[in-house]
Amino acid sequence: MALDLHTVTSRRRADMVDRLTTDGVLTDSLLRDALLRLPREVLLPHAYVRVSGPGADPIDWRLLDGSHPDDRQEWLDLIHSDESILLQRDGEPLDALPRGPVTGGHMTSMSTYTPATIEALQAMELGPEQRYLELGPGPGVSLALAAAVTGPGLATGVERDGPMAAFAQRNLDRLGVGAEVIEGDALEGHQARAPYDRIHSGIGVPCVPVPWMEQLAPGGRLLTTLATRTPSWPGQLLVTRTAAGTVEAVLRGRPRGYRPLLGYRWLNAVDHRARIKDDPGTARSTPLTPPPDDAYGFWLAAAYLAPGLVRDFQAETMTIVAPEDDSWAVAGPGNGAVRVHGPRDVWAELETLHARWEQAGQPERYRVDLRDSSGAQHVTSGAGSKALSWTLPPLTAVPRQAP
């Protein structure tokens, strides 16, 4: 006898929660209960699957419709997996998307992969009766979870994309969690309901917008991704305001982060891939063994102190590209060797920076001063002449464009 959809999805949620718990990702009991209670299929009724390989233009997609029996199994597997769920191309309306193959467009909204959502909500120490603000909630998965923990009427989202805001609100209303999505500019926060005990940004920003800080309540926590021009080495910033009003901010490197705000242009290595394969560069010796991927403190510093670099994670050996300088470095073969190409010696910059990082004590976390009277936001690994330090780029440096 075939099981009804409600029974199937309940079991899928339970399996997902068990997996996340076993993997050590999910540790908060309130969040665990929320994940078990909320039918995520209501918030994610469809999903795009990319068919084209990397670098294809235009891109071929396939839309899975969760209500269609031929798509249901794949759709259920996807929305209960640890993958990001792609939902919208080029700001399109979401009321009647055609099922099946479609060509062209770029993703403008998605649901972040579940482990990242859980880690973010747990890092903020979310609890009942807290006023919660979600910036760039997309389809509202993390907003719904937050509302289930805080209680109805306390969770608000600000979404600049009109069709996505309407889509998310309609589905949240079906869940009955008491969350509201406001169409507006997430960079401005939402003053009408401030101050907030918890602020979570689902978009990466180059620095912390002033309204976010102004709307954070005493005892509050704010969590965001700091976006650089490279997607390779993201940073996660946790801001806390003490009961006395003092602001403390800590920046850490992470394996993955949120996409940057609309209009922010990432560098990429795809256009150089074929050329690098044909000519990996001139071989030379190096004292630098390729740093491990989980040396997040080093790679985060590289994003700022060796700007303009991007990692090609699909390459067989570590490959770092400076696309705007037509330069690259390919590690190997073997330790002690590297191949370099172009006017910019990418690997020499990393050698120098790695030595500085070691002299600074191999920092994995950095303190951020958000209180400079000039408006600048400064990052440092600590005190002393050997500390690594830099200034975050201003928000005005990022072009903000309509979809």
Just list the catalytic residues: 109
The residue whose two tokens read 């050590």 is 24
* Closest by CA position to 90, among listed 103, 109, 108, 63: 108
Task: Burial-class residue 22 by CB neighbours within 10 Å (0-12, 13-18, 19+).
Answer: exposed
Tell me the two tokens of residue 301: 């510093």
Supply 374's token pair.
Answer: 């000039």
Question: Residue 112 carries which DSSP code?
Answer: P
Can you state the angle between helices 114-123 and 141-150, rounded to 10 degrees?
40
Distance, in Å, from the CA atom of 403 to the CA atom of 175, rounded to the nearest integer, reads 28
Q: Which of 116, 26, 64, 153 lies closest to 13 in space, CA to CA?
A: 26
Write the DSSP symbol of residue 282: E
Helix (H) / strand (E) containing 238: strand 235-241
Around Cβ 265, how many Cβ atoms within 10 Å? 9
What is d(CA 364, CA 355) in angstroms, rounded to the nearest whole number?
A: 15
Q: Are 49 and 116 in contact (CB under 8 A)?
A: no
- Residue 227 β-bridge partners: none
The pairing of beta strand 235-241 with beta strand 85-89? unpaired
Q: How far is CA 304 from the centre of its chain?
A: 17
Nearest Cα neighbor of 94 from 161, 180, 163 is: 163
